[in-house]
Amino acid sequence: MRHLLCLFLILGLACNQSAVEKSNDKPSTDAKSDQTVKEKDNMGFNKLTKEEEHIIVNKGTERAFTGEFNNHYAKGLYTCKKCDAVLYRSETKFKSGCGWPSFDDEVSGAVKRVPDADGRRVEIVCNKCDGHLGHVFTGEKFTAKNTRHCVNSLSMSFIPEDKFERAIFASGCFWGTEHHLNKVDGVLAAVSGYIGGTVKNPTYKQICTGTTGHAEAVEVIYDPTKTSFEALAKLYFETHDPTQLNRQGPDIGTQYRSEVFYIGEEQREITLKLIKILKDKGLNVVTKLTEAPQFWDAEGYHQDYYKRKGTLPYCHTYKKKFD
Ligand SMILES: [Zn+2]
What pLDDT does 5 receive? 55
Catalytic residue among 6, 80, 126, 173: 173
- Number of residues written out for the chain: 323
Cβ neighbours around 323 below 10 Å, total: 5
H-only helix segments in the chain: 2-11, 17-23, 50-56, 174-181, 204-208, 229-238, 265-280, 305-309
Going from the Cα of 129 to the center of ligand 1, the distance in angstroms, rounded, reads 4
What pLDDT does 279 receive? 98
Going from the Cα of 43 to the center of ligand 1, the distance in angstroms, rounded, reads 12
What pLDDT does 26 receive? 33
Residues 46-160: name the CATH superfamily: Peptide methionine sulfoxide reductase. (2.170.150.20)
User: Pick from 302, 307, 296: which is nearest to 89 by CA?
Assistant: 296
Separation of alpha carbons 202 and 199, rounded Å? 6
What pLDDT does 15 receive? 29
Catalytic residue among 15, 150, 208, 315: 150
Going from the Cα of 92 to the center of ligand 1, the distance in angstroms, rounded, reads 19
* CATH class held by domain 2-21+164-309: alpha beta
What pLDDT does 2 receive? 58
Separation of alpha carbons 116 and 59, rounded Å? 10
Separation of alpha carbons 32 and 43, rounded Å? 13
| 150 catalytic residue (yes or no) | yes
Q: What is the DSSP string of 238-284?
A: HTS-TTSTTEETTEESGGG-EEEEESSHHHHHHHHHHHHHHHHTT--
Going from the Cα of 123 to the center of ligand 1, the distance in angstroms, rounded, reads 14
User: Pick from 279, 90, 256: which is nearest to 169 by CA?
Assistant: 256
Q: Which amino acid is at 65?
A: F
What pLDDT does 6 receive? 52
Most distant CA pair in the chain: distance in Å? Answer: 64
Going from the Cα of 10 to the center of ligand 1, the distance in angstroms, rounded, reads 35
Separation of alpha carbons 254 and 279, rounded Å? 22
What pLDDT does 38 receive? 83
Going from the Cα of 78 to the center of ligand 1, the distance in angstroms, rounded, reads 11
Separation of alpha carbons 230 and 248, rounded Å? 22
From first to last of its 323 residues, the chain has per-residue pLDDT tens of 455 555 545 444 332 333 333 333 333 334 344 455 789 998 999 999 999 999 999 999 999 999 999 999 999 999 999 999 999 999 999 999 999 999 999 999 999 999 999 999 999 999 999 999 999 999 999 999 999 999 999 999 999 999 999 999 999 999 999 999 999 999 999 999 999 999 999 999 999 999 999 999 999 999 999 999 999 999 999 999 999 999 999 999 999 999 999 999 999 999 999 999 999 999 999 999 999 999 999 999 999 999 989 999 988 999 999 99
Separation of alpha carbons 10 and 210, rounded Å? 11
What pLDDT does 3 receive? 52
Tell me the whole-structure pTM to 2 decimals.
0.88
Going from the Cα of 224 to the center of ligand 1, the distance in angstroms, rounded, reads 22
165-171 and 247-248 as β-strands: parallel, antiparallel, unpaired?
unpaired
- Are 261 and 197 contacting, i.e. CB atoms less than 8 angstroms apart? no
| 173 catalytic residue (yes or no) | yes
What pLDDT does 37 receive? 72
Question: Does the CA dihedral 87-91-92-96 come out positive or negative?
Answer: positive
Q: Which sequence spans correspond to the domains of the chain?
A: 2-21+164-309, 46-160
| Residues whose CB is less than 8 angstroms from the CB of residue 141 and which lie 6 or more positions away in sequence, other chains included | none
- Are 258 and 244 contacting, i.e. CB atoms less than 8 angstroms apart? yes
102-103 and 93-94 as β-strands: parallel, antiparallel, unpaired?
antiparallel
What pLDDT does 17 receive? 31
